[in-house]
Amino acid sequence: MHGLEESRFEAVAKVEEVPDEGTFGVVKATGEPVCLIRHAGRITAVSDTCTHQEFAMSLGDVLPDGTIQCAWHGARFDCASGAVRQGPATDPLPVYSVRIENGMVLVGPPCSRSGDGHAISEAWIPAEEMES
């Protein structure tokens, strides 16, 4: 089973490509747009499509409270769970499984729905990556 799960993760970016307290848009091999978020020493991965009106979340801002704000209409979502923190959006952002290996960010399958958002998947950035 472990091997099958491994094959569902793919390297999408170098850790250093994701700006500190910022976003980096990537596309999975399946064509799904993903927004990588670097905040407070961790990287999370959410859908790069706002659930309000399909605008790229990677064009938005990561705020100090751990939310990402869509640049178009100001909808805010929790960076880790995708839960809506401010309208006009009403549906949470899908969240993807994420890992860091050998300086690369790997994105896996979507996380299951949990409460007002999704199960949290976050990858803590190793100390040696933080310094670069």
Domain-wise residue ranges, the chain: 2-130
Q: Domain spanning 2-130: which superfamily?
A: Rieske [2Fe-2S] iron-sulphur domain (2.102.10.10)
Query: What is the rounded CA–CA span in Å between residue 95 and residue 45?
Result: 6
**pLDDT band at 4, cuts 50/70/90?**
very low
* Confidence (pLDDT) at 131: 56
Note if the pTM is more than 0.75: yes
Q: Tens digits of per-residue pLDDT, 122-131?
A: 999 998 776 5
Q: CA angle at residue 48 from 108 to 124, to 5 degrees?
A: 50
Using alpha carbons, select from 27, 36, 28 the residue that is nearest to residue 93: 36
